[in-house]
Amino acid sequence: MRTYKDIWHAVEDGLRTEYGETIFRSWIKPLVPKRVEDGVLFIEAPTTFLRDWVLNNYGDSIRKHCSKADAAVMDIAIDVSTKDSVEAESHSSVAEPEKDVSSYFGAPLDPKLTFDNFVVGKPNEFAYAAAQRVAESQSATYNPLFLYGGVGLGKTHLMHAIAWSIKERFPKKNIAYMSAEKFMYQFIKSVRYRNTVAFKEQFRAVDVLMIDDIQFICGKDSTQEEFFHTFNALIDNNRQVVVSADQSPSDLDDMEERLKSRLGWGLVADIHPTTYELRLGILQAKAASSAVKIPDKVLEFVAHKVSTNIRELEGALNRIIATATLIGREVTIDSAREVLADLLRVADRVLTVDEIQQKVAAHYGILISDIMSARRTKTITVPRQVAMYLSKKLTRLSLPDIGRSFGGKDHTTVLHACRKIESEITTNAKLADEVRLLTKILSK
């Protein structure tokens, strides 16, 4: 039978291959194998939080790789390290290989999302400079840093870049980056398993807390309460907090006023929609790293035509590169136009709120005046909310502009409607089909 160390080395190799280096270093590397007994591999984790996370997310994979390494190992048991066991281990005659507990826990970081790969232009230069200052500072600065902007403009890229830069400059700092949804999930799980003390200790012990898309805890009172106390504890101890959202703190609907106030304490930096110059710079930077030669005229064409957000812009270039690679076709404006036909069709057509209101009213068999009215019956409210949702999704108008197009409604009414429909279409199949059909009709 193989030794427990041999088995664990084989398990580590398997998990590194299965999940990648980032997840391996964050969650697997801190684990220390102890012994095999009665077909069970006993492992130690440095914290209760890490033990629970590993068991819930990677337990089955660890068992699979254990059995693969040695058929006699049927199960695993993970205990939390104690001071005594650590001391005893350090004084043993045969020392274990040193295990560095990772200074990072949270969602995996994308190695491509660094400051070096971030293209700076007028729309994002202020947010970029603020992010760099936070990453370079030994102590907390601009606390909290609040980044906001529309979808696909670079907020998440800057969040990852800050985390990578801090890890490089200050490797001993404990960093936590995750989405607001993941924070909420962890909190709910800690309540469910009566493990809130460990949750609080884990999050309040970090040097840098980074929460992406904080708008997703709007309306979640208990999660907001816990985040509020976590936020205060970190700020009071001079720990850095970085938060992103799709709106400024003051515009976050269904967010507690005291939390809005706290989020606006430090530096609020917005990222504006892209300009042609920035889009072209992003395409040039990405094309330079490609093995496919992309003519400047094609890059200029794409920069002019795809102006919604950076994600779609990069996706468009990826299509062109993939087509050239797989088919071997020369990259020209005509070939690019053919490959991006669906994107260009949407980009070339300017859809108005009036058109959306007309199509929605006709679909539901009501009058446009009903949609514009203040009537709250369900037969009117649902179509009105659908029309507002489609206006936000299919046009570039701001929430206030959309509100004005619906009889002078407040922007918070539009935001509520959008969130209501986004939530409903995940559980209401009939409504989801109606929205999908209307989107298809309006996109022709």
Lowest mean pLDDT among 69-83, 111-125, 195-209, 331-345: 69-83
The closest of 97, 86, 154, 89 to 120, measured between CA atoms, is 154
Tokens of 41: 């591999």
Task: Work out the average pLDDT over 181-193.
Answer: 86
Q: What is the pLDDT of residues 106-144, one digit of tens each?
A: 778 888 899 999 999 888 999 999 999 999 998 888 899
Q: What is the pLDDT of residues 228-264, one digit of tens each?
A: 999 999 999 999 999 999 888 988 878 999 999 999 9
Q: How far apart are CA 325 and CA 412, in angstroms?
A: 47
> Quick one: DSSP state of residue 216?
G
> Quick one: DSSP state of residue 131?
H
Which amino acid is present at 360? V
**Residue that has been written with the tokens 């104690």 in this structure:** 82
Q: What is the pLDDT of residues 296-339, one digit of tens each?
A: 999 999 998 887 778 889 889 999 999 888 888 889 999 999 98
Which amino acid is present at 37? E
Please check the confidence at residue 198 and state whether its pLDDT lies above 90.
no
pLDDT-derived band at 39 (thresholds 50, 70, 90) equals confident
Tokens of 440: 């298809």
Could you tell me where the beta strands, DSSP code E, fall in 356-433?
A: none
Sign of the Cα pseudo-torsion (54, 55, 61, 64, in order): positive
The closest of 26, 61, 68 to 45, measured between CA atoms, is 26
> Quick one: DSSP state of residue 214?
G
